[in-house]
Structure 1
Amino acid sequence: MSTTQSERLRGLLEPLVAKTGLDLEEIKVTAAGNRRQLQVIVDSDEGAPLDTLADLSREISQALDDADAMGGTPYLLEVSSPGVDRPLTEPRHFRRNEGRLVKLTRAGGDELVARIMAVDEDGLDLEVPGVKGRKPKPARIAFGEIAKARVEIEFSRKDPADADTDGDESTEEA
C-alpha cells in the first residue's frame, strides 16, 4: 500500500476508531485475487468487544464507500483486534500485556524471556523465571534497549487467583 493511500485511510478511519474508545493500531491493504483486503487492527487497554468491532466495521464500510477511498476495485474489509503473535512496539502494547511472559530481543541481539510486572514511561520491570528450581529474579529494561518483543504463549500457567486453592474442584449436587 502506498504511503499516500495509507495516510488517506488513516486520516479517514482514525476519528471513527477514536470515538469508540479504541486505538487504531494498523491498516493493511493486500491484493487477494481480483479484489483487495483491507485489514483494520484496533485495540484498547480493556480489549476490543465484539459488538464494538461489529458496529465499527459497519461505520468504516460506510465511510469508505462514501469517500470512495478504495476506488472502484472490490474489497474485503476485516476489522479485528491484534493477535497474540503481534509484535509489541509501543509502550501501550507492553502495558496491555502486564503479567504475561514475553520474549525480548535487546538492541545488541541477546534475548531474554521474562514476565512483565510493571510498565512506566521509561521501560519495563520484569521477573526473569528461575531455572532448575531457583527463584525468579527482578530485571529492568528501558524501551530504547528493546529491538523486538512478542508475547510468549503459556499453555500451563496457573491462574494467580487459583494459587491459594489445592487444585481440587468440588461440585455440589442439589
Structure 2
Amino acid sequence: MNQEKVRELLDEALQENQSLYLIDLQFLANSKIKVIVDGDSGVPLNECMRISRKIEHNLDREDEDFSLEVTTPDIAHALTVKRQYKKNINRILKVKTATEEFEGTLSEATDQSITLCWKAREPKPIGKGKHTVEKIMTLLYQDISEAKVKIIF
C-alpha cells in the first residue's frame, strides 16, 4: 500500500472543504485504511463519501486490494485536535490531567489552552453552611491527558 499516495489524496480532499480536518489516519492489517475526519460544523455524510471516492478512485485495485473506511469520531472519542475544542465551546467537558480531573463548561479555547467553568458548593468563609461559587480553570493543552464531551440526555 502506497501510504504517501493515500496521504496526498486525503490532503487534496480536505483542501476542497476548509471546514474539515483530519483526526486520524490509520493503515491497519489486511490493507485496511481508516480515516477519521471532523468539521467545524460537523461532517455531512456526502462529505465522507466525497473523501472516500477521492481516495478510492485514484488508487489502483489491480496493484493492491484494500478496504477504505471514512468516518467521523464517535461520541466516546476523546478530543485530540485543537479545532475540536473550539467546536465544542459551551459544552460540558470531562478533562483529565496527570493528577486531577475536571468537569465543566468549555468557555474558551485558544491556541495554547482551554478554560473550563463550573459551580461548586463550598463552606462559607464565616459561619455555618455552604454557598455556591463559580470556579474557573485554565488548562494548557500539553497538560491535558484526555478530554471528552459529556453527553447529557
Q: 1:116, CA displacement in angstroms?
A: 0.5
Please, which runs of 5 or more residues in structure 2 have no aligned partner? 123-130
Shift in alpha-carbon separation, 1:84–1:131, aligned structure 2, 3 A: farther
TM superposition shift of 1:64: 2.4
Q: 1:134 to 1:81 in 2, by over 3 A?
A: same
2:142 paired residue number: 144
User: Do 2:6 and 2:55's aligned partners in 1 also have CA atoms closer than 8 Å?
Assistant: no
* Structure 1 residue 51: Cα displacement: 1.6
Match of 1:29 among 7, 27, 31: 27
Give 1:120's aligned amino acid.
Answer: T
Structure 1 or 2: larger strand share? 2
Q: How far is 1:5 from its partner?
A: 5.7
Distance 1:6 1:116, change over 3 A: farther
User: How far is the alpha carbon of 1:8 from its aligned partner?
Assistant: 4.7
TM-score, reference length from structure 2: 0.78
Aligned partner (choices 68, 75, 83) of residue 77 of structure 1? 68
Picking from 125, 134, 154, the partner of 2:115 is 125
Q: 1:45 maps to which residue?
A: 40
Q: Retained in 2: the 8 A contact 1:38–1:78?
A: yes
Closer, same or farther: CA 7–124 of 1 in aligned 2, 3 Å: same
Contact (CA 8 Å) 2:114, 2:141: kept in 1 or not? yes
Deviations 1:37-91 (A, max 9, x none): 32111122111111222222212111223xx6x952x322111111122222222
TM-score, scaled to structure 1: 0.70
- Aligned-partner SS, 1:130: strand
Which segments of 5 or more consecutive residues in structure 1 lack a partner in the other structure? Answer: 156-174
Determine the structure 1 residue equivalent to 2:54: 59
In structure 2, do the counterparts of structure 1 residues 12 and 151 end up closer, same or farther at CA, with 3 Å as the change threshold? same
TM superposition shift of 1:7: 4.7
How far apart in 2 are the matches of 1:5 and 1:148? 32
Query: Percent identity of the aligned residues?
Result: 26
Verify the 8 A CA contact 1:101 1:113 in the aligned structure 2.
yes
Deviations 1:75-110 (A, max 9, x none): 22111111122222222121111112111112x321
SS at match of 2:120: coil
Higher relative contact order (CA 8 A, sep 6+): 2
How many positions carry a matched residue from both structures?
A: 144
